[in-house]
Amino acid sequence: MQEGRNMPDKHAPRSEFIEHLQSQIVTEVQRRNRLPESSRLSLRWSWPLAAVAALLVVVSMAAGGVAVGAAYEGQANERRDALLSGYRQRVQLTKDRLDLANRELQDAQQKFQMGLVPQLATLEAQLKVAEVSGQLKTLESQMQEIRQTGSEPLDVVSSPLVGGRDFVTERLTDARAFPMMALQLEETRLQVAQRRMAVGVAEPAEVEAAQIRLIELKAALETIQKKLAIRQQLIKKEIDATRADLLELEADALVKVNTLKPKVALATRELERVQLKVKVGAAQNIELAQAQMKVAELNSDLAAAQLELVLIQQKLKGKIEG
């Protein structure tokens, strides 16, 4: 019979991990110790308490109630494990994507140093790394929430605190990093497009497209700021959960309207350009039809978004008045 194997060093934990987990444990313990007794009980033992309550009732009727309590706890653990398993796979995939993005960034930086690609290429690669890093951070935060609640993580502004911890604010704050970095990239891209247009190598549409991307990013940042403000109002009990939800919907609808408007304007200007080209024979009627179709579609989207916004604002008004 074969001999057992010796344990290699690869099974020793990284010192960074030891320190990180230790600080996490200390923070968690301090946070839990700060909570009042009643909330600690309700937060930590919601399922077991339910099981005990069920048990008391059932025991008075029959001895078989023990199995009911165990089943409740078992179901809660089962659901938590199932959720975590799915998230673990997503984290692994995101880590793989991050590795790839980092390699692409190194490649772009080397090529830029050799003069093979413009600086914009390295900025785009940096942005990709920032985007995937942000996604990884969000997933890890969501896993921490699942560990505590055993349920799907909640991201709406009216979500309750989890054991005194505000996961929604944490994730919204983290979510600002990517659009802020993207904003820098788009500003650079816009400058490049403006220079290209000034020397006649770029169409006005290129500049306008860069301007629209800037508008979209600024709107995204503004929306995050609004949601953070709504969240704070809710935490301070200045508004209730229903109003917070409506305000969040309003912020989302408003950003949709505000980003569609410049798109409609751009598509309209493009349509005018195509009409001129058709007149002088530099473009075909099919291109004109395509441009007209695009304007019509965007106008339709804008009308729908404006209607949605009005409906939400009416509900909000009704809520305030009623």
Partner 1 sequence: MTRQIDDAELLQTYRGTIRPLYAYVSRRVGGDVGLAEDLVQETWMRALDAWPARGMPKEPLAWLIRVAHNTLVSHFRRARPTLADPAMLDLEAAKFSPDTPDIAAAVGCGLSRLRRSHASVLEAFYFDGKTVAEIAAEQSVSERAVEGRLRRARSKLKKVLNKILRPAELRGHAGGTEHARQTRTS
* Interface contacts to partner 1, rule CB under 8 A: 1-8, 10-14, 17-18, 21-22, 24-26, 28-30, 32-33, 37, 40-41, 44-45, 77, 81-82, 84-85, 88, 91-92, 95, 143, 147-148
Structure tokens at 296: 């019509």
What minimum distance in Å lies between the beta carbon of 98 and partner 1? Answer: 11
7 vs 280, beta carbon nearer partner 1 = 7
What minimum distance in Å lies between the beta carbon of 40 and partner 1? Answer: 6
- Cross-strand partners of 165: 162
CA atoms within 13 A on the CB side of 9: 1
CA–CA gap between residue 260 and residue 215 (Å, rounded): 10
3-class SS at 202? coil
DSSP string over 169-233: HHHHHHHTHHHHHHHHHHHHHHHHHHHHHHTTSS-HHHHHHHHHHHHHHHHHHHHHHHHHHHHHH
What minimum distance in Å lies between the beta carbon of 88 and partner 1? Answer: 6
75 vs 113, beta carbon nearer partner 1 = 75
29 vs 67, beta carbon nearer partner 1 = 29
CA–CA gap between residue 265 and residue 267 (Å, rounded): 6
3-class SS at 118? coil
Q: Please provide the size of the chain in residues.
A: 322
148 vs 233, beta carbon nearer partner 1 = 148
- Cross-strand partners of 162: 165
37 vs 321, beta carbon nearer partner 1 = 37
3-state helix, strand, coil in the chain (%, to 5): 85, 0, 15
Query: What number of other Cβ atoms are within 10 A of residue 128's Cβ?
Result: 18
What minimum distance in Å lies between the beta carbon of 200 and partner 1? Answer: 52
What minimum distance in Å lies between the beta carbon of 148 and partner 1? Answer: 8
What minimum distance in Å lies between the beta carbon of 33 and partner 1? Answer: 5
What minimum distance in Å lies between the beta carbon of 269 and partner 1? Answer: 50
Helix H, strand E, coil C: the string for 151-178 is CCCCCCCCCCCECCECHHHHHHHHHCHH
23 vs 119, beta carbon nearer partner 1 = 23
82 vs 310, beta carbon nearer partner 1 = 82
Query: What number of other Cβ atoms are within 10 A of residue 72's Cβ?
Result: 19
77 vs 242, beta carbon nearer partner 1 = 77
81 vs 297, beta carbon nearer partner 1 = 81
What minimum distance in Å lies between the beta carbon of 108 and partner 1? Answer: 26
Q: CA dihedral in degrees (171, 172, 174, 176; nearest 10)?
A: 160
CA–CA gap between residue 172 and residue 221 (Å, rounded): 10
What minimum distance in Å lies between the beta carbon of 29 and partner 1? Answer: 5
Structure tokens at 61: 């009727």
CA–CA gap between residue 271 and residue 250 (Å, rounded): 31
